Structure 1
Amino acid sequence: MTSTDSPTLTLADVAEQLEARLVGDPSRRVTGLATLREAGPSQIAFLANRAYLKDLPGTRAGAVLLSPELASSCPVDRIELANPYLGYAALSRLFDPLMRRERTGIHSSAVVAKGAILGEGIEVGPNAVIEAGVELGDEVVVGPGSVVGADSRIGKGSRLHANVTVYHGVVIGARAILHSGAVIGADGFGFAHDGAGWQKIAQLGGVILGDDVEVGSCSSIDRGALGDTVIGNDVKIDSQVQIAHNVQVGDHSALAGCVGIAGSTRVGRHCMLGGGVGLSGHLTLCDGVQVTGMSLVTNSILEPGVYSSGTGAMPNALWRKNAVRFKHLDDLAKRLARLEKSGRSG
């Protein structure tokens, strides 16, 4: 099978893979995924959001992945499971061409230092650089133009896409995915002011990424000043995220695009930070915190829950009026306190 071939699966194969209930022709063959509106007879569609229920009656899909409570509305063969979105996630990997692509070994233009330890079934792309003391686990892929710095370790099955930079002394776990432009282990923003200018503080720590971490394109994770910056297992980091030195992010947390986390902040397990969220330095977010998009967090959050800051968009004229009123909030609060005090004394 070449890298461009699409796999052909029967609906029986799909149902078995997903441990789901098939209602329909088990021998029907499918070659890919598509939306309810666009799918043809050789494709599987899925319905995980009721907002798209309107597209179900007219679908031409070979089969639809959906929950049992919606099954009666399906006009074609169906695969029923409790969480169709999770089923879609699993099915997408079956049809992912990267998952089927054969390893091509070490390209002739790649530079691999003597003494680097390379596992079985690896791939090192054109113009990639593997420096001295590096250890690559089995089935690691280092894409074209990527650099793995001295004494770094990358675990089994991890993939660096094109033009990823891993600095020296970085540890990356198994099955990690680093997208193009990601930089892991650059210096943290550490300087001391001598009254006239800035003196650089050498960043002597490293970066540790756990297993199953994904880092989006053009995101940066800085090395620690002394200890390590630590990203836990199964953490998902979107594109253009900045994580400063000595930050710790707990297992199973997710950071959306353009999040910025200042130095030495600790984010707990199962946290979610929406797009554009900013966390000040030296804070703690406990487990199970969700911060909605564009919020600024300047104090530690020690109770799980959903947190927000800022104001939503509104017509400019109304915003101008409210902005003027914001300036008077302190005066209004003092006046209210005086009124309450006088009321109690009366």
Structure 2
Amino acid sequence: MASFTTILRAFIFALLYLPSTTPCAPKLQELSLPSRGPQTFAFDTKGGGPYTGVSDGRVLKYRGRKVGFVDYAYTSPNRLSFGPLAICDGINDTASGPICGRPFGLGFYYRTGELCIADPFFGLLAVGKKGGLATQLATSAGSIPFRFLDDLEVDQLTGIVYFMDASAVYGLSQIGELISRGDATGRLLKYDPRTRKVTVLLTGLSGPAGVAISKDGTYLLVSEFVSRRIQKYWLKGPRTNKAEVLLTLKGNPDNIKRTTLGDFWVAVTISTPIPRALGQKITGTGTILKTITFSPRFNSTPISEVQEFKEALYLGSLGVDYVGVHKT
């Protein structure tokens, strides 16, 4: 019988390199993209979007069904040298990341309108209201360079950016090795725009993939993809700067996104015995409130994000060329 690692590595190969052919779920709509791999989403202060990063290095903005997605920003300065199309647009190859960039984590700071971006190849960046080339904010924490930046969260009260470095050893093109070796060199990081410094909050994380701040700003929830658990890191109160395991899941959790009411949606991939892509709504105390299976459309590719916005759930995955919209 195939091991969990073997099956999961097959999933990762499929999401990075193979097209999906599974029929759509009845309640699922698709917003077509010009490239693959919408990892995460963001919405601006006017409710515009979704904004998403794709495999060829662009951040795209959805402008409605008549227009679709248009270019908004990019993380690689090489696009200025090569021109707007050149060698990057439409590419789906992780080897092109050092040239074209690969936006993963996205989050607006609503006070300034800036969009913060986590890129596994170009570090932590931000771009202004008009989009274009993002400005690099940080590429390392202490003496350790970022290796695989993933998700991020912006504290709207302070402008502080909380973000994940999935591994200090393995990069985006080495996800299979990261998982099979049970790598636990991931870090939870904090960028303070006032001091422009990066602080390490947690180390020893096993494939950290998602981070979300509570509605009152007292704690963070942090997902660990490899170890299948969610940790709670306290920002305020008697347990400040301490972490505890909040929840252990049956599948592998990816991004976490808070709802307007203060609960959280977690994207979960279950690989055995039957592949399933789930959205699980949880509380800050670790209670699972709701589970939705996005079948059959996402059964053949791991799901990266479930984000609630205006009575719909926006679904991300590295293995598709559309944004899934599940009406609630």
Instruction: Assess same fold via TM > 0.5.
Output: no
Q: Which has the higher strand share?
A: 2
Q: What TM-score does the superposition give when structure 1 sets the normalisation length? A: 0.28
Q: Which has the larger radius of gyration?
A: 1
Q: Which has the higher helix share?
A: 1
